Amino acid sequence: MSDQIEIIRPDDWHLHLRDGAMLKAVAPISAALFGRAIIMPNLVAPVRTLENLRAYRGRIEAALPEGSTFKPLMTLYLTETTDPTDVTEGAASGELTALKLYPAGATTNSDVDVKDMTRVHTVLEAMQEAGVPLLVHGEVNDPDVDIFDREVVFIERVLAPLHRYFPALRIVMEHITTEEGVAFVSESDENIAATITPQHLLINRSDIFRGGIRPHFYCLPIAKRENHRLALRKVATSGSPKFFLGTDSAPHPLGSKECACGCAGIFNAPVTLPYLAQVFEEEGALDKLEAFTSLNGSTFYRLPVNEDRIVLRRTPPNETIFQPIDAGAEGRVVVFRTEKPLNWSVAKA
């Protein structure tokens, strides 16, 4: 078996870059490895208008190293007051790649979201018309629904009806975590796709509590039972064009993770590609890695694939890859790491 694999430069179809000191600390990391990334709009003041979007893109570009060719693909946070003309105008100019739907209060910085889907019908019509994808955080936020069931209930209550009502609307179910999510996406037509994170291929819900509570394994949607992890590994490594990489790399300062009420979010950008090589090798599917990281997402988003390539090598990475990131005044950010040793590294990026 080959000790080295060269693939088209990957893209990250779901990334949190934050703002301010955190943005400056994490943007160069993703920019060094990925060609493009879909930038999540859940800032403390969410990216809600084209004007917000342009300003945020400017701050991201300013945080990139000199000469970086990394392209941030910008999104708007869908709210009940989103202006349909922002969709039409942003799509026409190419500045707007997608809109993100967070069910009310589901996750970090998302208390401005849509409570009643009928209030966003005109925006969804504009998106359908312009071919702009809707990215969904696929969990209901009903306190009566068990946290481990929220994805499945979201599919029944929100996603399936939405797809029936807007069959031509292109939808990405972000960071899927369940067998039911895999089945829904697999069985739907070509307008439905999904992203998968590295952590959901690597950990199950027991890992979050192995020997004690592990805040750096806590993200939303929360990792599920082992059967779900195995279903995700199977479909991610299958080559199916409906599934592609979205790291959901979501940095939080250490103090906001290791505390009495820790934030959801795993910071994985520095280690995603080596971990994926390891997963794909374990599944006997290294030949499918490039489809997952570098081809399928481009196809769904109707963008050309990246022109340059990266090299991954079967050799343990330098320990520095796991060193916490210094985000200045915001503090340090812990890098995702499993108990099992990582035996792949990026040899050329």
For ligand NCD, the binding residue among 29, 250, 273, 333 (CB under 6 A) is 250
Which H or E run contains 89?
helix 84-93
The site partner of 24 among ligand NCD, Zn ion, none (C-beta below 5 to 8 Å per kind) is: none
Q: Which of residues 199-228 bind ligand NCD (CB under 6 A)?
A: 219-220
Please, how many CA atoms are within 13 Å of residue 74, restricted to the half-sphere of its CB? Answer: 26
Q: What are phi and psi of 326, to 5 degrees?
A: -90, 110
How, if at all, do strands 36-39 and 71-77 pair? parallel
User: Considering only residues 139, 248, 290, 330, which one is a binding residue for Zn ion as defined by CB under 5 A?
Assistant: 248
| DSSP type of residue 220 | S
| Residue 248: active-site member | yes
The nearer residue to ligand NCD, 73 or 250, going by C-beta atoms, is 250
Closest separation between CB of residue 134 and Zn ion, Å? 15
- Nearest distance, CB of residue 100 and Zn ion, angstroms: 9
Residues 102-126, buried b or exposed e (16+ Cβ, 10 A)? bbeebbbbbebbbeebeebeebbeb
* Residue 276, token pair as written in the block: 């994926």
Residue 108 binds which entry of ligand NCD, Zn ion, none, CB below 5-8 Å type-dependent: ligand NCD
150 binds ligand NCD (CB under 6 A): no
Q: Which of 86, 179, 248, 290 binds ligand NCD (CB under 6 A)?
A: 248
Q: Which amino acid is at 230?
A: L
- Helix, strand, or coil (residue 59): helix
139 binds Zn ion (CB under 5 A): no
| Among 307, 303, 290, residue whose Cα is nearest residue 244 | 290
Cβ–Cβ under 8 Å, residues 248 and 197: yes
- Report if residue 179 touches Zn ion, rule: CB under 5 A: no
Give least dist CB 14 to Zn ion, A. Answer: 6
Tokens (6 digits) for 280 = 């794909």
Largest CA distance in the chain: 54
* Strand-pair partners of 249: 15, 266
Q: How far is the CB of 16 from ligand NCD (least distance, A)?
A: 5
Contact map string, positions 27 to 46, toward ligand NCD, x by CB under 6 A: ---------------x----
Among the residue ranges 70-78, 245-253, 310-318, 328-336, the one whose residues contact Zn ion (CB under 5 A): 245-253
Q: 33 or 333, CB closer to ligand NCD? A: 333
> Hey, which residues are catalytic here?
248
Q: Which residues bind ligand NCD (CB under 6 A)?
A: 16, 42, 107-108, 137, 219-220, 248, 250, 264-265
